[in-house]
């Protein structure tokens, strides 16, 4: 009981400190430091003494597309298994050690990267470093933990198999990517999960956890002089060079094609995808503003005004960027009653091409700019978020000065820029569409899509 109370109190203290961390107003300058550790690692660092925390966010090149053929789901499985014991600590002892010092450690696998987030109270940063390094270099991968985690993933797959959204995502990837690794199932299948062995997990750690692909962002109450050696302690003894195959950029297939998956549900989930811009494209920010106006993160977008407010066809429609290294996308997603599916999709495609044809007003552009600039600060309202943000800047290939010039860059975007980029990138005729449900009114759209092939 004492251990439980102590661990809960430390976890609450950690959470409270994270929420108490100050954040920079939208117009404030960020003095991001680039630190080279004694061993040669590069870290982007933003000091923050608002709470007694140190947070590190990191990424290794080596996501799910690097899983061996027939063993899809390896990276996803590793997310949970890495915190199931390390060194001489089994799962239960490891969990107790983490909780005793209020340390946070989590992992996540994407298609391109395997990422992690680590946060510790400064009073316990030495012990936290020992546990963190053991996690990366001495994972136990006990057979009981492997079997249990595989069973959990299989249960999740069973849930996903009945979820129209996951069905649509899987079918969309197959439609877009065909035989490219991006089409593979990140969570695997029952068969591929059963084929994964402890040796596969150890090979993953040895091959993909390497210094040459490591990207690190850090923030917190630690000096620049102390941070370098501390980072070296965290990542000591991992490989110098990753053993990874290279992949070609993905060429998107089936422009204009639509597929309908019959599914017994009163609503149809519709997903649409087309070619997008990479984060380093010179027109990326302009396209970001176009997307915000069409279907971004608010309920006042054009898609939501027409589909949700005026007609009540959906609870919400959104469009968003999916920034895969090998195939960036612009995507749309919404659910609607089966009887409205045809009309909702037709209207969505009309809205998608409207800015290219008719442009936007100065008022609409300024409203979008104000929101995008003002909302940006919310990405770094805690020390943990700041560390992750600094990692993300590096993966995106942006300069350390970017946060300080972003508002100016957005402010300089004109109506003419918006229409030019909309004409080039937001093309309803190129949308690949997947509908899962029992949609009505899609027959004409489906025939037109077939004729376009």
d(CA 307, CA 356): 20
H or E element that contains 32: none
Long-range contacts of 177-181 (CB under 8 A, 24+ apart): 177/250, 177/252, 177/253, 177/327, 178/253, 180/247, 180/248, 180/250, 180/251, 180/326, 180/327, 181/65, 181/111, 181/247, 181/326
Cβ atoms of residues 268 and 446 within 8 Å = no
CA distance linking residue 442 with residue 338, whole number of Å = 10
Arch. (CATH architecture) of 2-163+176-234 = 2-Layer Sandwich (3.30)
Distance CA 17, CA 166 (A): 36
What is the distance between the terminal CA atoms of the chain, rounded to a whole angstrom?
66
Length of the chain: 453
Cβ atoms of residues 194 and 150 within 8 Å: yes
The C-alpha atoms of residue 270 and residue 208 are separated, in whole angstroms, by: 36
For β-strands 432-437 and 258-262, DSSP reports them as parallel
CA distance 441 to 260: 12
User: Which residues belong to CATH 3.30.830.10 in the chain?
Assistant: 2-163+176-234, 258-377+397-452
Q: Which residues contact 344 (CB under 8 A, 6 or more apart)?
A: 270, 307, 311, 313, 314, 334, 336
Q: Which residue is associated with the tokens 């429609």?
A: 317
- Residue 408 backbone zone (phi > 0: left; psi -120 to 50: alpha; other: beta): alpha
Ramachandran area for residue 359 (φ above 0: left; ψ -120 to 50: alpha; else beta) = left
The series of mean pLDDT values per 10 residues for the chain, 453 residues long, is 32 34 52 97 97 97 95 97 96 96 96 97 97 97 97 97 96 94 95 98 96 97 98 97 92 94 96 95 96 93 97 96 93 97 97 95 95 85 94 95 95 97 96 96 60 46
Q: pTM (2 decimals)?
A: 0.89
Phi, psi of 35 (to 5 degrees): -115, 135
Name the CATH topology of 258-377+397-452. Cytochrome Bc1 Complex; Chain A, domain 1 (3.30.830)
SS3 string of 244-312?
A: CCCCCCCCCCCCCCEEEEECCCCEEEEEEEEECCCCCCCCHHHHHHHHHHHHCCCCCCHHHHHHHHHCC
Task: Give CA–CA dist 322/271, Å, rounded.
Answer: 13
Q: How far is CA 134 from the centre of its chain?
A: 26
What is the C-alpha to C-alpha distance for residues 274 and 332, in angstroms, rounded to an integer? Answer: 9
Find out whether 442 and 259 touch, Cβ atoms under 8 Å: no
| 128, 103 contact by CB (below 8 A) | yes
User: What pLDDT was estimated at residue 249?
Assistant: 93
pLDDT of residue 11: 35
Q: Identify the DSSP state of 185.
A: -
Q: How far apart, in whole angstroms, are the C-alpha atoms of residue 164 and residue 125?
A: 44
Our measurement of the distance from residue 403's CA atom to the centroid of its chain's CA atoms, rounded to an integer in Å, reads: 20
Gap between the Cα atoms of 245 and 373, Å rounded: 39
């Amino acid at each position: 009981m004492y251990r439980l109370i102590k661990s809960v109190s430390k976890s609450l203290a950690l959470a409270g400190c994270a929420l108490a961390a100050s954040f920079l107003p939208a117009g404030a300058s960020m003095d991001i430091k680039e630190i080279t550790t004694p061993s040669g690692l590069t870290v982007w660092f933003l000091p923050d003494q608002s709470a007694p925390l140190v947070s590190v966010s990191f990424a290794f090149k080596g996501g799910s597309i690097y899983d061996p053929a027939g063993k899809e789901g390896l990276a996803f499985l590793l997310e949970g298994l890495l915190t199931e014991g390390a060194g001489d600590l089994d799962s239960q002892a490891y969990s107790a050690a983490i909780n005793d010092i209020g340390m946070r450690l989590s992992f996540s696998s994407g298609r391109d990267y395997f990422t992690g987030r680590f946060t510790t109270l400064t009073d316990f940063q030495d012990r936290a470093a020992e546990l963190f390094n053991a996690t990366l270099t001495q994972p136990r991968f006990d057979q009981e933990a492997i079997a249990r985690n595989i069973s959990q993933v299989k249960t999740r797959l069973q849930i996903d198999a009945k979820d129209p959204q996951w069905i649509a995502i899987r079918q969309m990837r197959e439609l877009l990517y065909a035989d490219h690794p991006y089409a593979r199932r990140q969570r695997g299948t029952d068969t591929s999960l059963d084929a994964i062995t402890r040796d596969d997990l150890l090979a993953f750690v040895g091959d993909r956890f390497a210094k040459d692909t490591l990207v690190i962002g850090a923030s917190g109450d630690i000096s620049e002089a102390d941070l370098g050696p501390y980072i070296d302690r965290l990542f000591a003894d991992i490989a110098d060079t990753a053993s990874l195959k290279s992949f070609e950029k993905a060429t998107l297939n089936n422009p204009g094609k639509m597929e309908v998956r019959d599914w017994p549900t009163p609503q149809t989930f519709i997903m649409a995808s087309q070619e997008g811009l990479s984060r380093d494209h010179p027109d990326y920010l302009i396209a970001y503003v176009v997307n915000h106006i069409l279907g971004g993160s608010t309920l006042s977008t054009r898609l939501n005004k027409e589909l949700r407010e005026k007609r009540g066809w959906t609870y919400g429609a959104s469009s968003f960027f999916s920034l895969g290294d090998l195939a960036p996308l612009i995507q749309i997603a919404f659910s609607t009653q089966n009887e409205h599916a045809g009309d909702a999709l037709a209207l969505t495609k009309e809205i998608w091409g409207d800015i290219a044809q008719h442009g936007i007003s100065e008022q609409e552009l300024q409203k979008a700019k104000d929101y995008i600039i003002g909302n940006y600060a919310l990405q770094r309202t805690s020390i943990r978020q700041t560390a992750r943000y600094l990692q993300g800047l590096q993966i995106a290939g942006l300069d350390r000065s970017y946060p300080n010039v972003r508002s100016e860059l957005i402010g300089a975007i004109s109506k003419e820029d918006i229409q030019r980029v909309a004409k080039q990138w937001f093309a309803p005729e190129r949308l690949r569409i997947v509908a899962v449900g029992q949609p009505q009114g899609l027959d004409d759209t489906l025939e037109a899509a077939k004729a376009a092939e």
